Structure 1
Amino acid sequence: MDFGPDAERMASPSVEPDISETLLAVGASLATGAPKALFHEESLAAALVDRQGRILAASAAFAALRPELVLDETMLTRVAGAGAAIVERVNDGPLEMTLCAYALASRAEGWILPGAVRAAAAASPNQIVVLASPSHRLQRPLQAACEAFGLTGLQTRVALEAIRTGGVRTAAQRLGISYHTAREAMAEAMVRVRAPRLPALVRRLVSLAFGVLPETEEVDLLGDAWGLSTRQAAIAVLIADGMTRGETAAALGLGEAVVKRELNEVYGLLQVGSAAALARKIAEANALNWMTRSTGGDIGVIEAGAEPLRIVHRPGGGRIAVSDYGPASGRPVLVVHSSMTSRIVARGLRRALQSAGFRPISIDRPGFGLTDEIEGLRPGLHDPYPAAADDAILVLDALKLQTVDVVARGGAQFVVALHKIAADRLGRVVLVNPDPPSAASGRRIGPFGVLKDAFRRNPALIRVWAGLIGTQLTHARVSRMLERSMQGSPPDEAAARDPEIVQDYFRAVRTFATGRHTGYVNEQIDFARRGRGQPPIDGTSNWLVMVAAHDTLHEPQEVIAYWRAVLVDAQFQLVQDGGRLLALSRPHDVVEGLLNTRSG
């Protein structure tokens, strides 16, 4: 990636002796880089306006708002004079209250904005950018959040009205149903979302409707937005997360009477009448806070409708993120992501699989994308793959799938772990360029090869590198990184010039920007520490291992030798005109390999 001159030196094989020092120096220089958020495009209510409040460009979410709700003449005048970003609350009744941020376009370059508004702001730096976070107006994003948690139609309707009105009783009145029916629907919804009480349900649905928001301490944020004291803000956060007043008092070492008094003050300051309404306002404030942070370019917006999402819960706690691309009638195939990416399946591979009658399904492994880490396991100090295999079984059961084929574009160790615990759940398996542990791979050329060697010699560098790439990801940098790292492999060089492949790769890696990279760290440490030897396993005659002759990371013969010793009865294919990006650049070859693999 393009991290400046130090990183250019780091990626050069001629400076291997000081790579550790260089990497640490680069990481230290970026240590203050904050994580970023990924917002659904439909959730961004943004506009460029002139100093009289006339709208010059606006997103669809902003156009759905009443202009008088967000365009305050006094605020526009103040920003035009000062130029600094100012955040204010605007109140037009409890249901319409929202937070807004104003800034001169020249001062809002780091804000997360839809493309049309960003372009208009760049062309008119003296005009004013306005951002709002009105979750009650985000119909489609909220519905998508409900669908991700598997809520029924009734549960979704009641949840959306509860978010808008702040309570189940008022939601029932607005929907014209009995309070008993609405209350039962919400009780079932809370079970599905794993929310202890209605405020937690509201907060989780609203947050997911905005996108992927990094975990952050919100106490200071609430003080800045509404003038809450530190104690009031701490109480508000716990109540919004589903605690009762008694539980909150115990957690903060306060008397319940003190919590009640402070909470009443919070309700007055935020002009809300319930804990659910409080939860909504906190989620909106957190979202607006991330919208106005520096984004490092185009990292912040998720394309509308780009990814299906379903949340499956672990019995012991934690969520598993799943994409089921359909169709439901297709033969299910689990598409496994690499240790550098997330569950996003490249469009070319997805189309090829669906055209051949398959139903692609992908899962974020623990610590990747939107899947939570495994509680109680110390990062880097455990085998990450058995836990990932347990997650996969939970997903298959949730989707009511007895067996599934597999296409692994990485994550071969995970597939082996899944085979060990549930071989009967696997049909045909194709491993594409499976990575051997570092000790079994002698290749040390190119940027990735140099890094691989550095990680093997000092696994502590992996965490530094993960944090570094997370702060620096942009589409332009990912494109340059692919071009440089694929040099010397003709098929990969061609793939790195394909706009769709680059965009899909960018989409698959950008959750690193949110600070969610524990899965990558765990798996890379495992690669660095795992020895050459691994006990052979049988029952893999229905497996095909596809190894590209132009792999830029490993010597093909070393890969084949390692995996032949592990998968003793598997089929092997050396793809003469394939490269590291084989699954992205030659998806039809991968699908053909899957179709032609003999059944187990």
Structure 2
Amino acid sequence: MRAAAFLDRFRTLERHEAPLALFADDPEGFAAAIDNAPAEFAESVEAAAARVPGWIAELNHGAFASAACNARGQVVVADKSFRAWFDDDDPIGSVIRRVDDGEPYLSVLAQDGNGRPVALAAGGSRAVARWPLGEAVRAALADGRASHAVVGFRPDSGGWERIARVHGWTLSETRLVAALAREGDLPAAARSLGIAHETARKQVASAMEKCGARRQTDLVREAFRLAAGDLRAPANVDRLFADLFDLTERQARAARGIAHGGTRPAVAKAMGVSEHAVKADLKIVYVACGVEAAVDLARIVAEVEALAGLATACDVALNIGQAVNDPLKLIPRGWAPGRIAVADHGPDTGFPVVILQVNVMGRAISQRFIATLQAAGLRPIAFDRAGFGLTDFVEGDPYRTATHDIDTILDALGIEQALLLSRGFSTGAITAAEAMPDRIRGGVLLGPDPPVELDRVRSGMMGAGRKLFYDNPRLAAGFTRLLAHRTSSESIARMMRESVNGSAIDLAALDDPEELATIVRAGRQSALGMHGFLNEILTHGAGARAPVLLDGSNWTIAYGQRDPLYRFDEAEAHWRATLPGVAVLAIEQGGRFLHLTHAAEIAAACTAVLARTG
């Protein structure tokens, strides 16, 4: 009865709103559904996940231009960037007339100021409520002068400044990449800037090396992806691209493969077709998309991916001030494809401490905690692990992947040695230390997660989650898709509070709006696709264990004695055997979020490790 009642409530709720709050409201029903009705639970979860094709999105406001229109497509008001795009308002009408009941719709127009194709997204006032709209556009929708909004992806100067900062580009390199995206090919970009072609060739090669781009197409697409914010294209983006340009899905996949930096042979191999077939498909693509060069194709693909991510997102947040506190760098991997998103908080004079977050959080972390570490002479460095936030996913053992990525980060930042500070990724931290004994001086583990057979807590929402992922892993993929496609800032905040229910000190920490906002942002970074989360939790649930170190005296385990999710006594023997000589710091008044409530003690534990290792 409990399982059936839970599933009935879930099916009713998920049709109209984000359903995740129910797992916090009724953890006993959640657990009962897993135990007593697993097939029905899986079916309901899959249906709810499929209802929204997109992911969570955190957008940079200045990357989008917007206009407010009436039902006939007449522009009521537009921001400056949007007005500069078009010579007249007539093309907008064809977009608005295809919006069904105010739902978001993607379209492509060829009437921008230069006659080039431009991707646009449109929607009714309710559908665009969280879109990155200009103030005047939002006001026109609010007072009824307009019924629809149209948005185009057009990074402003602030967006290009962010791209340059993240990749370490010079001003001249940034101007050239912007011109390349604008003009569609390198010779035209060089002419528009009044520089020699050879100079442009050297500058673009330098920019590509710094960001790890394989080709100019990948360079432009990567720049646009970063300018947009933290978002991903929906799973059905090939179908959307095909529909926009009247292409087959195979032609759409070929177009996106080239735009993502692939060569014709590489794209053909990935698609399982001949190179001749890809060449023929691309001829059709170029005509359909109204472009003449691969770089221009990359630009329109990037626009469609960004706007598709916006239009299909399950929840949208605007990054207005957070980026100031996010010293983001995207570091190319040398050992595997993709890039690693790193936040190096400095200063260069501090001893580096690489922070490893729990698997429900990305790189965002408390600014007060960062300041406390810095005041102790440390240099905190956080990063998105593979499949989290802006870091590209890598198949395989997540602990070995994290080891390679930490090694890559230290090399890129010119760091010889570092400490590790782990908030729940303890097996990964110790794996990295074993593999790089000359680079990892030791570290601090906060409430280290025990092996799955010692993790017996099954009460409350988090306990029900462990029941699902550890005891019923066949349900994990579908439930993870639900988390990825139906989450929101409100759901994350609610579940974070529920996870520490009963811990007064943790709940008090979450009452601080600034700290809660940072935790929610970290949760959004984890939810961006959820590939990393699923890989890590299934690997842990399958019985992964940290390697045994010969000497654990350069490590400290710190835990809160009031942590509602942790029982150190149940895993103490394991950790003392894994880290012989480890120091243990039991914080009597501590709960789950020790980095918020006892930051000074954690910073002191880090400096004590340094003192012990000389």
Could you tell me the TM-score, scaled by structure 2's length?
A: 0.84
1:421 corresponds to which letter in structure 2?
Answer: A
Q: Any residues of structure 2 matched to 1:100-115 within 5 Å, and which?
A: 100-109=120-129, 112-114=131-133
| One-letter amino acid of the counterpart of residue 171, structure 1 | A
Q: Do 2:70 and 2:147's aligned partners in 1 also have CA atoms closer than 8 Å? A: yes
Taking structure 1 as reference, are residues 290 and 313 closer, same or farther at Cα in structure 2, changes over 3 Å only? same
2:112 matches 1:72 = no
Consecutive unaligned residues in structure 1, runs of 5 or more: 378-382
Residues 92, 2 of structure 1: alpha-carbon distance in 2 compared, 3 angstrom cutoff:
closer
User: Residues of 1 paired with 2:489 and 2:66: CA distance?
Assistant: 22
8 Å contact 1:336–1:363 — kept in the other structure?
A: yes
Partner amino acid, structure 2, of 1:66 = R
Q: Amino acid of the residue matched to residue 375 of structure 2? A: S
Match of 2:352 among 326, 329, 332: 332
Amino acid at match of 2:185: G
Q: Which amino acid in 1 is paired with 2:83?
A: R
Q: Deviations over 1:359-405 (max 9, x none)?
A: 21112222222223334x3xxxxx43122112211111111100112
Q: State the distance in 1 between where 2:167 and 2:95 align.
A: 43
1:528-567 to 2 correspondence within 5 Å?
528-530=541-543, 536-567=548-579
Q: 1:137-171: per-residue Cα shift (whole Å, max 9, x none)?
A: 53332343344344444433322211111111122
The question of 1:291 aligning with 2:314 is answered no
Q: CA deviation at 1:134?
A: 4.1
1:393 aligns with 2:410: no
User: What amino acid is the match of 1:346?
Assistant: S
2:445–2:558 contact (8 Å) kept in structure 1? yes
Is residue 335–residue 361 contact of structure 1 (8 Å, CA) maintained in 2?
A: yes
1:525 and 2:531 equivalent? no
Instruction: Pick one of 180, 190, 203 that aligns with 1:185.
Output: 203
* 1:305-384 to 2 correspondences below 5 Å: 305-307=324-326, 308-375=328-395, 377=396, 383-384=397-398
**Deviation sequence 1:578-598 (CA, Å, 0-9, x none):** 111111333233213223343
CA distance in 2, matches of 1:395, 1:248: 29
- Determine which of 252, 256, 275 is the counterpart of 2:294: 275
User: Hey, what's the Cα distance between the residues in 2 that align with 1:297 and 1:367?
Assistant: 19
Task: Return the offset for 1:5.
Answer: 4.9
Paired amino acid for 2:606: L
Kindly indicate whether the alpha-carbon contact (under 8 Å) linking 1:145 and 1:209 is maintained by their aligned counterparts in 2: yes
The aligned counterpart of 2:259 is 240
The separation in 1 between residues aligned to 2:485 and 2:147, in whole angstroms, is 27
Q: Where do 1:457-472 residues align within 5 Å?
A: 457-472=471-486
Verify the 8 A CA contact 2:181 2:299 in the aligned structure 1.
yes
In the aligned structure 2, how far is the partner of 1:457 from the partner of 1:108? 40
Q: Distance in 1 between matches of 2:547 and 2:96?
A: 67
The correspondence for 1:414, drawn from 428, 432, 440, is 428
> 159, 178, 184: which is aligned to 1:166?
184
1:444 is matched with 458
Shift of 1:246: 7.0
Structure 1 residue 247 displacement after superposition: 6.6
- Partner of 1:492, secondary structure, is helix
Q: Could you tell me how far 1:341 is from its partner in structure 2?
A: 1.2
Q: Aligned letter for 1:27?
A: V
Counterpart residue number, 2:10: none
User: Does the 8 A contact of 1:35 with 1:513 survive in 2?
Assistant: no
Distance 1:528 1:543 in 2: 24
Distance 1:450 1:317, change over 3 A: same
Residue identity matched to 1:367: G
Are the aligned partners of 1:10 and 1:19 in contact in 2 as well (CA < 8 Å)? no
Does the C-alpha gap of structure 1 residues 205 and 10 become closer, same or farther in structure 2, counting only changes over 3 Å? Answer: same
1:501, distance to aligned residue in structure 2 (A): 2.1
Gaps of 5+ in 2: 1-17
Match of 2:599 among 577, 587, 599: 587
How has the CA–CA distance of structure 1 residues 362 and 568 changed in structure 2, closer, same or farther, with 3 Å as cutoff? Answer: same
Q: Quick check: 2:388–2:528 contact (8 Å CA) kept in 1?
A: no
Show the counterpart of 2:219. 201
Alignment partners' CA distance in 1, 2:124 and 2:234:
28
Q: Aligned in 2, Cα 1:234/1:3: closer, same or farther, shift over 3 Å?
A: closer
* Secondary structure of the structure 1 residue equivalent to 2:556: strand
Structure-2 separation of matches of 1:510 and 1:78: 31
**Stretch of structure 1 that moved more, 7-16 or 186-195:** 7-16
Q: Is the 8 A contact 1:45 1:132 kept in 2?
A: yes
Residues 503 and 122 (structure 1), Cα distance of their counterparts in 2 relative to 1, 3 Å cut: farther
The aligned length equals 583
Distance 1:223 1:436 in 2: 47
Aligned residue in 2 for 1:380: none
TM-superposed deviation, 1:424: 2.2
Kept after mapping to 1: 8 A contact 2:122/2:151: no
Structure 1, residues 516-571: CA drift from partner, whole Å, max 9, x if none?
x222222222332327x866423332222111011121223224443223212111
CA distance in 2, matches of 1:103, 1:27: 27
Separation of aligned partners in 2, 1:577 and 1:79 = 58
Deviations 1:164-185, CA, capped at 9 Å, x for gaps: 1111112222223221121122
Q: How does 1:52-63 map to 2 (within 5 A)?
A: 53-55=75-77, 62-63=79-80
CA distance in 1, matches of 2:428, 2:528: 24
Cα offset, 1:71, TM superposition: 6.5
Amino acid at match of 1:527: H
- 1:416 deviates by 0.6
Give the whole-Å Cα distance in 1 for the aligned partners of 2:142 and 2:531: 39
| Range 545-554 or range 194-203, more displaced | 194-203
Q: Pick closer, same or farther for the CA change 1:272–1:419 going to 2, 3 Å.
A: same
AA aligned to 2:486 is Q
CA distances 1:277-320 after superposition (whole Å, capped 9, x unpaired): 12101211221222222x33444757444522322313342322
Distance in 1, matches of 2:80 and 2:607, equals 49
Letter of the 1:157 counterpart = R
**Cα contact 2:233–2:305 (8 A) shared by 1:** no
Q: 1:128 to 1:311 in 2, by over 3 A?
A: farther
Change (3 A) 1:223 1:419: closer
> Structure 2: how far apart are the matches of 1:231 and 1:413?
41
Aligned twin of 2:520:
506
